[in-house]
Amino acid sequence: MVILKGIPSIISPDLLYALARMGHGDEIGLGIPELLQAILKLFPLDTYVSCPAAVMDLVNEDKAKGLQTPIWEKYQELLSNTGCAKPLEKIERFAFYERTKASFAVVATGETALYGNLILTKGVIPAGEKGE
């Protein structure tokens, strides 16, 4: 793999190409904290939507059991660290599948956390601000 300065090594050339090709409002599905952290260094989140990051909501049986989703707290922390104070959107299971099918790109990872899948909505870099 070719390594470039300033590009996290976890970002493959194909993923970098997909991120660069995405337009404002395009979505990408992914699932792993280290990858999310790397992507957020390159990828502006959409500031014009109420929730630029979405997860699959718990199914009723898991809600009834009180299933915990600590991965969501990690995602929220990483998003907050980049200045995104908006909450994670929670999407019903089958609606999440449909939204994922419509995403610009889906990244297969080794994430094993329950309800660890994540959809990000790309924003724009404001005029006059350099992409660094």
Residue of 26, 46, 57, 115 marked catalytic: 46
DSSP assignment string, 17-78: HHHHH--TT-EEEE--HHHHHHHHTT-PBPTTSS-SEEEEPPPHHHHHHT---HHHHHHHHH
75 is annotated as an active-site residue:
no
Residue of 17, 24, 26, 48 marked catalytic: 24
62 is annotated as an active-site residue:
no
24 is annotated as an active-site residue:
yes
Residue of 14, 17, 48, 97 marked catalytic: 97
Residues catalogued as catalytic? 24, 46, 97
